[in-house]
Amino acid sequence: MNCLRNLLKILVLTILLACTYTSSVLADVILPGQSPVEYCFQIANINKYPNYIFVASIGVPWKPNSRDNRIVRQNECLSLKYIAEAEIYAVTKNQVKPEDIITNNQGEKFKNFNSQKLTLIPTTNKIHNLRALPTEYGVKKVVDILEIVAIQPTSLDLRFKEVVYTFNQGDSETKIYQTQHERPLPSLKQSVSFLNLTIPGFSIIGMMLVYRNLKGFRKRNLS
């Protein structure tokens, strides 16, 4: 009986591990017809709130132990990798000691983020990584720009303001958010390639040569 229970436990554990692995693999797959893009986000008006420090808690939703934190500065664009998401918090500067903040190769962060949680002011908005877009858009990089609307003792009102698309050719386009969490799509660019120019060109030349030969053939027949 004990042997059967152990086998059932092993089976359940194996299924759970397989489901977790499959979910992460599927979430990391780029579908056919899509191309990978670089993604980052920034908060545009941090300098309007000089009495606060803003921190992003970044990690994979179903892996709590994977979370890390980064302090967000004015105009700094924070990248999200793979299937990560970010939650933004505010904290008043007078509740933070200099030794609470450390610096590593990725930037500034809280030394012990969990110990700061009681003093953090959360926002309801989560920022999700954008890994790919349809290839037809020709987008290389996507930057979400957010702005702080208000800070209350128990809530941070942070909203998506606009998104900047940078295309493979180097030009960029800014789109305004009309609805939160509904990112406006970039405009379709008419990409002009060498083949797009040469194939119609050769077709026109071919038609001219055929017309010229037919014209010469008719003249010879009439004479």
Condensed to tens digits (0 to 9), the pLDDT of residues 111-143 reads: 999 888 889 999 988 999 999 999 999 999 999
Angle, CA 101 vertex, CA 155 and CA 44 arms, to 5°: 50
Mean pLDDT of the chain: 80
pLDDT of residue 42: 96
Condensed to tens digits (0 to 9), the pLDDT of residues 182-221 reads: 999 999 865 444 444 444 444 445 455 544 655 554 555 5
78 contact partners, CB below 8 Å, separation of at least 6: 40, 41, 42, 56, 58, 70, 72, 86
Mean pLDDT of 154-167: 97
pLDDT of residue 198: 43
pLDDT of residue 11: 47
* 176 pLDDT higher than 70: yes
| 23 in a structural domain | no
pLDDT of residue 181: 86
Judge contact between 127 and 79, C-beta under 8 A. no
| 199 in a structural domain | no
- Total of domains in the chain: 1
| 128 in a structural domain | yes
* 21 pLDDT higher than 90: no
| 2 in a structural domain | no
pLDDT of residue 1: 53
**Residue percentage of the chain with pLDDT more than 90:** 58
Structural domain harbouring 110: 31-176
| 13 in a structural domain | no
Spatial separation of the C-alpha atoms in residues 176 and 185, rounded to whole Å: 10
| 72 in a structural domain | yes
Spatial separation of the C-alpha atoms in residues 6 and 157, rounded to whole Å: 50
Q: How do strand 68-72 and strand 78-79 relate by DSSP bridges?
A: unpaired
* 178 pLDDT higher than 50: yes
| 152 in a structural domain | yes
Judge contact between 87 and 72, C-beta under 8 A. no
Condensed to tens digits (0 to 9), the pLDDT of residues 40-97 reads: 999 999 999 999 999 999 998 777 777 899 999 998 999 988 778 999 999 999 999 9
| 183 in a structural domain | no
